Amino acid sequence: MAHEIIVGLTGGVAAYKVATLVSELVQHNVGVTVVMTRAAQEFIGPTTFQALTGRKVLTHVFDRKAHPLGAHIEVAHKAELLCIAPATANLLAQAAHGLAEDLLSTLLLSFQGPILMAPAMNSEMWEKPAVKRNVAQLRSDGVHFVGPNSGWLSCRQQGEGRMAEPSEIRAAIHNLLSIGPV
């Protein structure tokens, strides 16, 4: 594999779109390790991503057998980029405030490379001042963003908050890794 990245999924209905993203990355010779929160697993199962990547999907902070030093350390050291899609309001708040309560948020604190987030949430949530402050803080901290877009949302409304399309996220990843056009 030419490049190694981590794709982190949080609990949003847009998680189903991440299967397409992961498949496209693997087809473009990118090694992908998937990390899922418990909430993400309510929307799509780890088996999907294991089949697409050929790798175990990481879901727990403590897996001493596979990662004696901690997955948040070992996985972080092997990857060039961390992409979180969908990035929910909760994840944005955790990241902006340095909270670590699961593998993905702990990994965010230990990861040293570029971080790309693809927010996805209801438009009313996206417009909240707290969410805007968290995004501004993360941008100030050097986090990159793709989206959200405007369009049809799972709450059956039109508005801003729709996760960027897999092709947009893949292009942003390729740009950050300086791979070139996709």
pLDDT of residue 182: 45
In a domain, 125, yes or no: yes
In a domain, 13, yes or no: yes
pLDDT of residue 137: 97
pLDDT of residue 60: 62
CB distance 117 to 131 below 8 Å:
no
Percent of the chain whose pLDDT exceeds 70 = 85
Residue 67 has pLDDT above 50, yes or no: no
Domain count, the chain: 1
Task: Give strand pairing partners of 159.
Answer: 151
Residue 58 has pLDDT above 60, yes or no: yes
Q: What is the mean pLDDT of residues 118-138?
A: 93
In a domain, 17, yes or no: yes
In a domain, 181, yes or no: no
Read off φ and ψ for residue 151, nearest 5 degrees: 160, -160
Query: What's the distance, CA 141 to chain centroid?
Result: 17
pLDDT of residue 161: 75
In a domain, 135, yes or no: yes
Catalytic residue among 26, 155, 171, 179: 155
pLDDT higher at 77 or 52: 52
Half-sphere exposure of 165 (CA within 13 A, CB side): 6
- How far is it, in rounded angstroms, from Cα 49 to Cα 156? 27
- How far is it, in rounded angstroms, from Cα 35 to Cα 78? 14
83 in catalytic set: no
Residue 68 has pLDDT above 70, yes or no: no
Among candidate residues 137, 161, 140, the one with its CA nearest the CA of residue 151: 161
Report the range of poorest mean pLDDT among 27-41, 118-132, 150-164.
150-164
CATH number at residue 13: 3.40.50.1950
Q: pTM of this prediction?
A: 0.89
Q: What is the mean pLDDT of residues 118-126?
A: 89
In a domain, 182, yes or no: no
pLDDT digits (tens, 9 = 90+) for 71-108: 556 777 789 999 999 999 999 999 999 998 899 999 99
Which residues span the domain enclosing 109?
3-176
pLDDT of residue 157: 77
In a domain, 42, yes or no: yes
pLDDT of residue 143: 97
In a domain, 152, yes or no: yes
